[in-house]
Amino acid sequence: MKKKRQITYSLSARQKRQLKQQEQQGEKQEQTEEVPPAEIIAKRKPNYPLIICITAVALAAVLIFLAIFIPIWNREKVNHDTFLKWKYFNPEDPENPYTDTNPNPNPTPNPIATITLTGSDEDAFKAIFGEKEVEISLEIFMDDAPYAGMNFMYLAESGFYDGTIIHDVYRGKAAMNGFTQDKNSSARAKEATFIRNLKGFVENSVSTWDSTNYKLGYRLKVEKERSIANTSQSQLGYLLHVAGNSISYSTSTLFMLTTDDNPIYNHADSSTSIVNNLSWVGRVTNDESLNVLRKINGVAVTASGKSFVPNTTIKIESIKTNLSSERKKYLLNNFESLISGGKESTLRNVAYNQTYYNFKD
């Protein structure tokens, strides 16, 4: 049998070249599609400075929004009960205050007032106190004496005592009543530009102290007294308010700091006890404050009428509280209404006789 001739197909050299050219053109086309030219890459590159700028502006807008609205959402709800029922106020259910049998599990801490003292003569002041400026930190007993406490904080935050002096240091007590130089010559309550902005006071229309047109504050009722029957208990470091309608020189502005373990609660002439006319408003919070009071108790004094004026001026630079901004604002704006329930009587006229105030109903 005759074998069939095997036929093989082979590409010619020309065909091979054409096939190779086609393959090369295909590779170039693929590279063109997959790898853009450098200028195209540059055009497609993100504009990072613009992105960063837009992001920063958006972030700033968010932060401003949060700064404005978060305080509004979280703002403390303040009303009369916040102050008058300090210990028992229930912010979750104001209509149902806490009681002694159902105590507040998270009571609001009592406010702290800080009295900053300096001296007109820095060297003389430093010789007594060791520093050119010292502080007395006081806890205000809002649970025991809310009216006297609010009265003190209102006067303090109004700046009533700023720049005044401790004008009387005697028998374990240091008195502050808003005098700017000495008891017989000047007082903050005579400064018309100040008094016209102070609630509860009436501006003096004439220059003399004994004018019936001149009115200085109000008297407060005596609030809960702290027991002082136990003579072994130190009475050093308390803030007292001279209250009541019977005591001759009680006024809304008169407060005393106890500077001795056993102060004597009567007039300078020992004729009238005032122990039953005192509201115990607060007490110092630390040993440093107690030491300042002991040093005040040891200053040399000079008798002036019924006062014993320190020979080295003890100036009240300022009295500030740690009340929240909401409570401070509410107290300053609503003080007359807040204090009304604690008044002993209305505004009174002054009869000034160079020794002490004697208020008339």
Domain locations along the chain:
49-97, 112-345
Beta-bridged to residue 308, according to DSSP, are 303
Quote the pTM value. 0.73
Q: Which CATH class is domain 112-345?
A: mainly beta
| Sheet of 278-284, strand order | 164-165, 315-321, 112-118, 134-140, 278-284, 238-242, 255-258, 173-176, 168-170
pLDDT given at position 316: 96
pLDDT for 71: 52
Q: Is 305 exposed, middle or buried (0-12, 13-18, 19+ CB in 10 A)?
A: middle
Cβ neighbours of 301 (radius 10 Å): 14
Q: Residue 343 in contact with residue 95, Cβ under 8 Å?
A: no
Phi-psi region of 32 (alpha: psi -120 to 50; beta: other; left: phi over 0): alpha
pLDDT the model gives residue 183: 54
How far is residue 302's CA from residue 81's CA, in Å, rounded to a whole number?
Answer: 45
pLDDT in 10s for each residue of the chain, 361 residues? 555 555 455 666 777 777 777 777 766 665 555 555 555 555 555 667 777 888 888 888 888 777 666 654 456 688 898 899 898 888 888 888 898 899 888 888 999 999 999 998 999 999 999 999 999 999 999 988 999 999 999 999 999 999 999 989 988 999 998 888 765 556 776 676 777 777 766 554 444 444 343 445 677 888 866 655 455 678 899 999 988 766 666 678 889 999 999 888 775 554 566 777 888 999 999 999 999 999 999 999 998 877 889 999 999 999 999 999 999 999 999 998 898 888 775 544 444 333 333 333 3
CB atoms within 10 A of CB 335: 21
Distance CA 313, CA 127 (A): 12
pLDDT for the residue numbered 67: 67
d(CA 232, CA 6): 134
